[in-house]
Structure 1
Amino acid sequence: MAATEGFPNSPSVLALAGGVGGAKLALGLALALRPGDLTVCVNTGDDETFHGLHVSPDLDTMMYTLSGLSNEETGWGVAGDTFTALEMLGKFGVDTWFNLGDRDLATHIRRTQLLSDGKTLSEVTDELNRSLGVTQIVVPMSDDPVKTVLATDEGELPMQRYFVGRRAEPVVSEVRYLGAETASVSPGFQDALTRSGMLVMCPSNPYLSLGPILALPAVRQRIRAFPGKKICVSPIVGGDAVKGPAGKIMAELGKEVSCVQVAREYRDICDVFVMDTQDQALAAEIEELGITPLVTSTIMSTSEDKIALAREILTLAE
């Protein structure tokens, strides 16, 4: 997918993202900005070891999306991938509940090789993205392990076991980020917090995608002190998540399932809250939080939708 000529006079942008919704807006920003003007800090709280391989689901979704390789029907994995290796593993009696395509497995093999060679996750992420022709900067939130764990009516479940293995069916009572309190912000994230002129929180799950990033030491304080515009795009439209279990989790945690609740979550770190036209009647409640609402179409079904939303966000820097 060809990039546009770059948004005129745009600042460098730091985007916080995870999941499919985050990758969609990141792609719009990547296409609207000049190469190298976007840094995407990606959640790694989902990272797991499968079949002896280090799998970074959100980093992979971002890389495949920005490189034009993603399966647009599912939002994850590689378009046209096959599952021959997984079928063979099943014949050996291996539990194959987590789908990994053959081309996707190559990514995990290479990542694991490079990590075994002593490279950091940041270094590995940069190498993999460059190999696939990604021209923007993609960084993990941390090079240290952080694990998102959900307390549910079926016990504690790691994020992927909850989301993929149990299809987000268990009732959630708490979300925790194990290791976050001692993890360090990755060098690329640290650099982008210092040099970027705008910060965008993509329409990602507040608890499973952006929560781990914001749980890292001093990140929330750094964002509060961030001198540029801080923009949040709501993942909740019309009283439910556009995709994924964010709305379900909000309800189970006893929170209101609305874009207003998302704004409350980010009240101290958001200047402008981007909300869908379906929720226009709630704009006054956003203003009451001391946040400027921007009502527009946030549903990103096409490349044009993604670029249009990205461009509207970028105008806020002017």
Structure 2
Amino acid sequence: MASSPRVVVLAGGVGGAKFTLGVRAALARMGAPEATVIVNTGDDLWLSGVRLQPDIDSVLYALAGQNDTERGWGRAGDTERVNAELQAWGAGWPWFTLGDLDLGTHLARTGWLRDGMSVTQVVHRLSQRWPLGVRMLPMTDSEVDTHVVTAEGRMHFQEWWTRHRATITPLAFENPGIDQAQPAPGVREAIADADIVLVAPSNPVVSIGPILAVPGVREALRGARRVVGVAGVIGGKVVRGMADVCLTAIGVETRSDAVAAHYGARSAGGLLDAWVMAEEDAGLAPAVAARGIHPVIAPLWMSDADTSEAVARATLDAGTMMRGSFS
């Protein structure tokens, strides 16, 4: 049997970008085809007349080796001269920094969108600048920005996340218009053709959640050959960001087994066949198994390229162990 799987990754944010780097390295070592990465576009926004796609850019810059690893966002070596001028004019958000190089990406994207390109076409064009080693797809071509409902009113997710640092209690997360959205061209086909779909250790609520909310995506995943998720919670704490606040808002405890239960077992109408959990959470494996999800224990800290690849390899192995070699 062949041992070169066709892989799809659902991803968003810095955790998704790190995991995707690991998947790329693991597949290259196996001699496997390039992965397709379906990226969240729920945190996109318009600002100062340009279209920003933070998760798309996080994955793009990471794969291109252009990301700022110290800040965790934006381009390496960027400057903020234009941002300072915008703020001097009272334009944009003073608490949301646009780097000069990053702004170049946003201007290019906005120009292409206004010329009539779809989001999928723009992402493809952006992907041509650097050898990424994966195929990137947006989850949808529709604008379905994430809004946060709070007792103080509704605000864009980026305002809640960046300005308020998730300190205002969220009551709900919404993506207006998502009920009428469709998966981007190629999304359903990529899932159908994949030997294994990997759910990255991204924020389950605002990174993976919007992807799953696009009509047709869950149905495509239920028909996938196998789906393996990776926990972004280790020892009862989120690895990065404020995902615990998001989980609490939807009634999910910040525990690896609780997040697995949130996604659910495919055998019970959910998403997962297997769930890769941290060694620190090995004691929760029986609870995951009781849900009908196969638990796999592995080191999950992605501190560098080698550990990211090891996490990806463990996730790929989880799919192999369940149903034998890839065909």
Q: Shorter chain as normaliser: what TM range? A: over 0.9
Q: Which runs of 5+ in 1 are unaligned?
A: 1-7
* One-letter code aligned to 1:260: D
Tell me, in whole angstroms, the C-alpha distance in 2 between the residues paired with 1:57 and 1:285: 35
Query: Is 1:32 aligned to residue 26 of structure 2?
Result: yes
Query: Is 1:55 aligned to residue 52 of structure 2?
Result: yes
* One-letter code aligned to 1:24: K
Partner of 2:197: 199
Partner of 1:314: 316
- Report the secondary structure of 1:142's partner residue: coil
Q: Is the 8 A contact 2:5 2:33 kept in 1?
A: no
Offset from partner CA, 1:71-118 (integer Å, 9 cap, x none)? 111221011111010011111122332111000001001101111111
Question: Mean Cα displacement is larger for which, 38-47 or 161-170?
Answer: 161-170
Q: Percent identity of the aligned residues?
A: 36
Partner of 2:178: 180
Normalised TM-score (structure 2): 0.92
Question: Where do residues 223-234 of structure 1 align in structure 2 (5 Å cutoff)?
Answer: 223-226=221-224, 228-234=225-231
Q: Is the 8 A contact 1:41 1:189 kept in 2?
A: yes
Deviation of 1:250 after TM superposition, in Å, equals 2.0
Partner of 1:42: 39
Tell me, in whole angstroms, the C-alpha distance in 2 between the residues paired with 1:133 and 1:102: 22
* One-letter code aligned to 1:174: A
Tell me, in whole angstroms, the C-alpha distance in 2 between the residues paired with 1:159 and 1:28: 28
Give the 3 Å change call, closer, same or farther, for CA 133–37 of structure 1 in structure 2.
closer
* One-letter code aligned to 1:43: N
**Match of residue 83, structure 1, among 80, 83, 96:** 80
Q: Is the 8 A contact 2:83 2:98 kept in 1?
A: yes
Q: Is the 8 A contact 2:252 2:259 kept in 1?
A: no
Question: Mean Cα displacement is larger for which, 171-180 or 283-292?
Answer: 171-180
Deviation of 1:243 after TM superposition, in Å, equals 0.5
Tell me, in whole angstroms, the C-alpha distance in 1 between the residues paired with 2:315 and 2:250: 30
* One-letter code aligned to 1:280: A
Query: Is 1:263 aligned to residue 243 of structure 2?
Result: no
Deviation of 1:120 after TM superposition, in Å, equals 0.7
- Report the secondary structure of 1:131's partner residue: coil
Q: Is the 8 A contact 2:192 2:220 kept in 1?
A: no
| Alignment: residue pair count | 310
Partner of 2:267: none
Q: Is the 8 A contact 2:12 2:39 kept in 1?
A: yes
Tell me, in whole angstroms, the C-alpha distance in 1 between the residues paired with 2:45 and 2:25: 30
CA RMSD, Structure 1 to Structure 2 (Å): 1.4
* One-letter code aligned to 1:44: T
Q: Is the 8 A contact 1:172 1:253 kept in 2?
A: no
Q: Which runs of 5+ in 2 are unaligned?
A: 265-269
Tell me, in whole angstroms, the C-alpha distance in 2 between the residues paired with 1:91 and 1:296: 50
